[in-house]
Chains A and B, each alone.
Chain A
């Protein structure tokens, strides 16, 4: 339950309070397929609503966790990540003044990264398959895989308020490589000046409803 809160606490609060947020998924990939993942949740735009919510026990009959519960849940995620072979340097920082949460870790290869994400999903949904792939890397190709069925439950539960919030919230993916990018399958993605990094920004409603995808096949030099 606590783990579930880790992921959903801020989101559910924002849904309750009509806030908005952004999530940034950054992956720096080395030539051998190892790298670092930085996942940033930024709820600063809804700071006032979150400040108020945290002083309450419940809103609309939904229990609001205490900070110590949130901290315990973050600790559980940290433990889970650390227990995955090939994952190291796990650092989770959270700032209750800014409501910016950052999860950082190093991975030895995309298999370890996939395993780490699956472990986190399992905290939330124990029925989710443990072998799902999110990233794949070969020498000249990097793939961000996105299975839309993961979000089908979320889509089914969307009310008009949730839609409004998600339409104002963004999910950004940034991938950086040691070599230049030749092409990418997702035409909405934009290359950096150095051509070694690529960014894709979508509003979350489009992702949840399936209108847009974060899937991308990136060919490297």
Chain B
């Protein structure tokens, strides 16, 4: 955990450093952008001027986790520590422009050799206040001397990473991937970037340039076409199988951009995103995206009992023809068919009792039902059957007739094992001579025991029928909007066996104790398209007691009961007995979730909402360790809610947003997040 935390913090510092610049003039930022290639797959823009008005670097450096990190840096860097530590303590003293925009960009490179190796590389551009100070820093921390490259100087800082600078700006490039020539490729790329024209740079991309006028602390912009080209060679993308798939084909990604603005405000962190599709692709998405959730669902969401929810709205009628025409059959089957169960007929050669537990057949993840108990023709309207055969071996009994204690080294001839050790080099791979001989002798003994093992194997054969819901039935059943919500926790007392000890001789006495086991209380709902068929399907499941009918609803039997009901055109599933006892009428208007949240659910294509405070505050603290109690209390008192939504496609742009609210409204959320992490760090520091 410490390493991960350290890496995380280091990464944040790199980002922070990248921030540390001030825009002296608009031209400075424009110069930096000219260094970024037009075919970048992604660019992170950092608004140093705005960001550093909000945060205090010294305040962050005073947190214990950074002080510990500083101490470790001191141990690692030795004589060079003083210089290195300036990176996060006093970056301006290194000549870095701490109030300027700076940029991190990502790209792909293909070498020109016969192998055509693919590399990904990352670049950082930042402006300098005084290049001589920066050059001095590089000279002190690098073993290499700077080399001139036109108006620039460059220097290798570590394997696969170089830094180049001129009087106004610096650029760091690092490359990942295999190949001995990658540094050569990186240098070639450096030369190309510092000499590229405006048209070859990101400044020629209108979608990217539009992001620069937005308000943000950080902006991440992504070019899907470049990204996909990096993931798969272009030649692959033109293959018919990819070309025909609506979401994978190269055409879909042409003109497809995504950008998010990240802002650290006092009391919350907000992320606003925007997807831009080509006109052609957006037409396809408009057919699939729904307009929002069925308003009837909000009846089942209580304002005081909501830990989290997820809702979505897609158009099944728009989705089906697209899947039918565009997807390959195998993919289509995976998506369309719902797996509902396995029935088996067991045939045994030997007259041995076979039960469900013995029928452990590889690759079966679901419950098995003995076929003779069920009417397999009951579901032909809704399901297809696939029949397959499996077989496996079992021992009739646990013990062998031989007395294995007697089969020892004395019984088995192992006199030639030592000779075998010298002849067979495989024994010498990882063990000492003694161990190898010991193992070889044991192998000989085990082989003899197997030879004398008289247990009979039983061949178990089973005919298995897989029931799969028919795709046409599924697509006809639902409209496409649904909601799932965790409304609360409930716990039950669970009995378990453990041991107490008598006082006289400490003899263990088996006793039964109880513990609390926690479960989520949930509600799920789906809008039905074909209510008549859905009712018939549920009724058919009662025939074999997969569902039990009670009043106007059904019970899914099991240790924890689930209740299913069809109310008007809604399919409702819950384990909340309050909803069930009210006969699925739902809560009164006064009891329901806030109007704001209702509006969000009804007008967004998808919505996600977690009440982080309640998620941790409502847990049963009685049986928890003190450490856990402290951790959960911290989280409950620090966070409010996390919500995310996405809009429908009305034009070729779809917007999405995410917001994390914090209890502390006074400090900036960037510092507050570090403060919370620091508290967690302090709780766990002694464990390392």
Contacts and interface: CB of A to CB of B under 8 A. Distances in A.
Contacts of B449: 79
A197 B502 CA distance: 11
B499 A42 contact: yes
Interface stretch (B54-62, B228-236, B358-366): B358-366
Contacts of B1: 159-160
Given A174-B501, A192-B504, A57 B365 contact: yes
Interface stretch (B314-322, B431-439, B533-541): B431-439
Q: Most chain-B CB neighbours within 10 Å: which of A55, A56, A163?
A: A55
Contact of B505 (A48, A57, A83, A176): A176
A192 B503 CA distance: 6
A122 B443 CA distance: 13
A163 B498 contact: no
Interface string B474-516: 0000000000000000000010111101011110100000010
Interface in B432-484: 435, 438-439, 445, 449
B180 interface: no
Nearest to A197: B506
B405 interface: yes
Contacts of B365: 55-57
A120 to B, nearest CB: 13
Q: Most chain-A CB neighbours within 10 Å: which of B362, B405, B494, B504?
A: B405
A67 interface: yes
Interface string A38-64: 001010110110000001110000000
Contacts of B398: 71, 75
Contacts of A100: 497
A68 B395 CA distance: 8
A167 interface: yes
Contact of A197 (B394, B505, B517): B505
Interface in B288-345: none
A42 B506 contact: no
Given A24-B499, A57-B363, A174 B439 contact: no
B505 A127 contact: no
Nearest to B368: A55
Contact of B435 (A66, A127, A174): A127
B501 A199 contact: yes
A130 interface: yes
Given A56-B365, A193-B504, A196-B505, A83 B499 contact: no
A130 B436 CA distance: 12
B357 interface: yes
A79 B400 CA distance: 11
Given A57-B363, A67-B357, A193 B503 contact: yes
A182 B622 CA distance: 39
Interface of A is mostly: mixed
Interface string A108-142: 00000000000000100011001000000000000
Given A127-B435, A130-B438, A68 B394 contact: yes
Contacts of A163: 687
Contacts of A198: 506
A24 B367 CA distance: 35
Contact of B508 (A24, A83, A122): A24
A9 to B, nearest CB: 15
Contacts of A45: 496, 498, 515
A40 B498 CA distance: 11
A102 B363 CA distance: 31
Contacts of B499: 22, 24, 40, 42, 172
A149 interface: no
Interface residues of B, number: 39
Nearest to A176: B505
Contact of B404 (A57, A71, A79, A122): A79
A58 to B, nearest CB: 9
Contacts of A75: 398-399
Contacts of B501: 174, 199
A42 B503 contact: no
A30 B449 CA distance: 33
Contacts of A22: 498-499
A44 B557 CA distance: 24
A26 B498 contact: no
B356 to A, nearest CB: 10
Contact of A44 (B360, B408, B496, B517): B496
Given A79-B404, A79-B449, A100-B497, A126 B505 contact: no
A44 B508 CA distance: 15
A112 B449 CA distance: 22
B551 interface: no
A194 B507 CA distance: 12
Given A79-B449, A83-B405, A83-B408, A40 B505 contact: no
Contacts of A194: 504-505
Q: Most chain-A CB neighbours within 10 Å: which of B404, B407, B439, B628?
A: B404
A162 B506 CA distance: 30
B439 A126 contact: yes
B581 interface: no
A160 B4 CA distance: 12
B405 A192 contact: no
Interface in B362-377: 362-365, 367
A127 B431 contact: yes
Interface in B15-67: none
A168 B624 CA distance: 10
Interface of A: 22, 24, 26, 40, 42, 44-45, 47-48, 55-57, 66-68, 71, 75, 78-79, 82-83, 98, 100, 122, 126-127, 130, 159-160, 163-164, 167-168, 172, 174, 176, 192-194, 196-199, 209
Closest 6 CB pairs of A and B: A82-B405, A197-B506, A44-B497, A45-B496, A193-B503, A192-B506
Given A48-B494, A130-B438, 15 more contacts: A22-B498, A24-B499, A44-B496, A55-B365, A55-B367, A57-B363, A57-B364, A83-B407, A83-B445, A126-B439, A127-B431, A163-B687, A174-B501, A174-B506, A176-B505
Interface of B: 1, 357, 360, 362-365, 367, 394-395, 398-399, 404-405, 407-408, 430-431, 435, 438-439, 445, 449, 494, 496-499, 501, 503-506, 508, 515, 517, 625, 628, 687
17 contacts: A24-B499, A42-B497, A57-B362, A57-B364, A57-B365, A68-B395, A79-B449, A82-B405, A83-B404, A83-B408, A126-B435, A167-B625, A168-B625, A172-B499, A192-B504, A193-B504, A199-B501
